[in-house]
Structure 1
Amino acid sequence: MASIQKNYQDVNSELELIMNTGEILQDFSSTGKERPWKIHKQENLRLVELYKMSKERNLISLISDSRLHDLEHCADTLVFLQNAEGKKKLKSANFCRLRLCPMCQWRRSLKMFGQVQTITDKILERDKSTRFLFATFTVKNVDAENLETCINILNNKFLYLVSKNKTFAPAKKLKQNLLGYLKAVEVTYNTKDKTYHPHLHVIFAVKSTFFKNSSNYMSKKEWISLWQQALGVDYKPQIDIRAIKSGTAKAVAEVAKYPVKTAPILKLDDDEAVEVLKTLTFCLHKKRFVSYGGIFKTIKQELKLQDVETDKDLVNTDIEQQERFNAVTAVLFKYNFKFGCYIC
């Protein structure tokens, strides 16, 4: 807490820092929805508990002592700027930035939402006729031993659909209409058969002619056939494909959430949760889970937006952070382990 307080005072000496009032944190978005700081911190502490269990059981080291310390103290101290109406804006926090930390995953999801909305705004500003598709590409579930290989296959085979450098006749219709894409890899766990379900979530930006011209449009049956041929499998993989009808930047951004989600694992029994955590820790290590292509990548570079996966700044995340905020004071909140909430 001392470092957070000093860092704040170094750059905001003109504002009084309020502490030790007993106020319980309530932080609301512009839509009036309360931000779930308490929930994500509780999830974070459950993850700490699981990593400690893995150490006690003498498993292969999943996390160093220093990183475990960072995880345990992730976002335990928050400093908010506050305006005359009592609205808050996060100014500083000690985020650990671990891939599987629920708190940091939430912050990355906010950051990704803001980036995609900004990028989509620019795309529509240049051509209002641009249309967007949301697709989910799947493959059969795999066991822990084959998870990493399966993720690599998904990423490589996806390139057959979108890369101009790869000749793949079944994707000709898509490539002719494709302007760009945002791809995110997600891995979920099936508790019934103890398998993993890696899949891709993709937002495609396509020309309006994709819908206007029947010779360009692709039915769901065609999408399934396309993905089956790309994978080279003897079964028909499940695909969900839908148009984002409203055509607004916010509607596109709503489906662009950071894909790695630890929360479901935290609800498992201890033994199973530790085993799944071990698998994900090793299989997801140094893997890229979000990638941009075409017009999405071009505009991201033009706007000089940071990489969501590697950016160390998880304080400034969404569009609201960019708006003018007339702070009159600052408030420091500390997570209280006894009461399970943030208290000033």
Structure 2
Amino acid sequence: MNSIIEFERNVNLEIITGTGEILQDFSSTGKERPWVVHKKENLRLVEIYKIAKAKNINLISDSRLFDLEHCGDTLTFLKDAEGKKKLKTANFCRVRTCPMCQWRRSLKMFSQVRKITDKILQDDKGIKFIFGTFTVKNTDAENLENCIDNLNKKFRYLVSNSLTFAPAKKLKRNLLGYLKAVEVTYSIKDKTYHPHLHVIFAVKSTFFGSSKYYMSKKEWIELWQKALNVDYKPQIDIRVIKSGTAKAVAEVAKYPVKTAPILKLADDEAVEVLKTLTLDLHKKRFVSLGGIFKTVKQELKLQDIETDKDLVNVDAEQKERFNAITAVLFKYNFRFGAYIC
């Protein structure tokens, strides 16, 4: 059964349904988008929430659980004369732990960081970028929230000009801005949680000019150890984003909340981990920008990645006008595990 829908610019397009076509959606680079993978992850998460409810562990309201269960199960694509598709509408739930919505936010974050970095390099091609991962010892569920708060607090010693912290003087002299993302992973072996920070630093080219400014990995480790005020050497990964292109910088900027790994746990353990993540991470910010990253984001009038409700328009590659000739409606078929028109 086909119908007519009015899209932008008052263009009426026929919506095609009931053809039996199985969805294949490709990015501009030719890579197939994993709609089915994330929908199956989404349904496993729904199952875990329902198991929790059966145990009288109420982590989500019935209405939000309904939204979660039906997240991304109906997709409308515009199609051009060559058969290329562009997502037009979808029923995303926006539940923080939803794998489908996490995937869409990750795509949006890539898009935003690429736009921001494009503008930064357009204004000054001499700016360099460093990617760093800053860790702390694993913690148990009871102390996870405090551990995350402490991580964020100690990171400010490295980047805030309002905080006097001598060990960070060399970094701050050359620091232009940063993008920070908090990620929490779960260790199946130890039953502990591993909160850590992923950071992209924008620095002046002088940072690499001489030993007066340049920081070795040993210096980074010592800096982070002093910031944390711990008696052990914390693990750190520091690398220069050598190509210096906006796409290269954006490639390391992924939305940090990832539920997928816990979906493979046994039911009881999955419930406990989901409970911890749901309660301890409630209303916390995972992504923050400072300095030139924040300034350029405001100049470009980009939405807050964590509160933006638009998870449909996420493609950084889609620059030209899409000349649609029709629209196709796909629904997730639970029996066949596929999106079918």
TM-score (norm 2): 0.97
Q: Distance in 2 between matches of 1:320 and 1:249?
A: 12
Percent pairwise identity: 79
C-alpha contact (below 8 Å) 2:130/2:200 kept by paired residues: yes
Match of 1:258 among 235, 255, 260: 255
Cross-structure match for 2:112: 115
Q: Helix, strand or coil: the match of 1:277?
A: helix
Instruction: Give the secondary structure class of the aligned counterpart of 1:314.
Output: coil
State the match for 2:30 in structure 1.
32
Give the CA deviation at 1:249.
0.3
Amino acid at match of 1:46: R
Q: Which deviations, in whole Å up to 9, do the C-alpha atoms of 1:189-215 show, x marking residues without a partner?
A: 000010000000000000001011221
1:177 aligned to which of 174, 177, 180 = 174
Q: Could you tell me which of 105, 112, 122 is aligned with 1:125?
A: 122
- Kindly indicate whether residue 69 of structure 2 is the aligned counterpart of residue 72 of structure 1: yes
Aligned equivalent of 1:17, options 7, 15, 22: 15
Please tell me the residue identity of whatever aligns with 1:57: K
1:298 aligns with 2:295: yes
Aligned counterparts of 1:109 and 1:98: Cα–Cα separation in 2 = 14
Write out per-residue CA displacement over residues 182-238 of structure 1, whole angstroms, 9 at most, x where no aligned residue: 000000000001000000000000000101122100011100010011011111100
In the alignment, what sits opposite 1:316? 313
Structure 1 counterpart of 2:157 = 160
* SS class of match (2:186): strand
Which residue identity is paired with 2:29? T
Distance in 2 (alpha carbons) for counterparts of 1:269 and 1:167? 47
Residue 318 of structure 1: CA displacement? 2.0
Aligned mates of 2:6, 2:77 — CA distance in 1: 13
Q: How many residues align?
A: 338
Q: Secondary structure at the match of 1:136?
A: strand
Q: Do the aligned partners of 1:115 and 1:318 also contact (CA within 8 Å) in 2?
A: no
The equivalent of 1:207 in structure 2 is 204
Partner of 1:90: 87
Q: Which residue of 2 aligns with 1:57?
A: 55
Contact 2:80–2:324 (CA under 8 A) maintained in structure 1: yes
Q: Is the 8 A contact 1:78 1:90 kept in 2?
A: yes
Q: SS of the counterpart of 2:298?
A: helix
Q: By how many angstroms is 1:320 displaced?
A: 2.7
Q: Please give the alpha-carbon distance, in whole angstroms, between the structure 2 residues aligned to 1:74 and 1:90.
A: 15
Do the aligned residues in 2 keep the contact of 1:78 with 1:92 (CA within 8 Å)?
yes
Q: Please say if 1:147 is aligned against 2:144.
A: yes
The alpha carbon displacement at 1:130 in A equals 0.5
Q: What one-letter code is carried by the residue in structure 2 that aligns with 1:51?
A: Y
Q: Which amino acid in the other structure matches residue 190 of structure 2?
A: D
Tell me how far apart the structure 2 counterparts of residues 62 and 204 of structure 1 sit (CA, whole Å): 36
1:323 deviates by: 2.9
The 2-side partners of 1:207 and 1:90 are apart by 39
Matched, 1:223 2:220: yes
C-alpha distance in structure 1 between counterparts of 2:7 and 2:193, whole Å: 47
Q: Deviations over 1:39-90 (max 9, x none)?
A: 000000000000000000112x100000000000001100000000100000
Deviations 1:113-160 (A, max 9, x none): 000000000110111010000000000000000000000000011000
CA distance in 1, matches of 2:320, 2:148: 38
Shift of 1:13: 5.7
Q: Tell me the amino acid that sits aligned with residue 137 of structure 2.
A: K
Gaps of 5+ in 2: none
Q: Which amino acid aligns with 2:273?
A: V
RMSD: 1.1
Counterpart check, 1:42 vs 2:49 = no
Structure 2 equivalent of residue 288 of structure 1: 285
Counterpart code for 1:124: L
Stretches of 4+ moved more than 2 A in 1? 8-13, 320-323
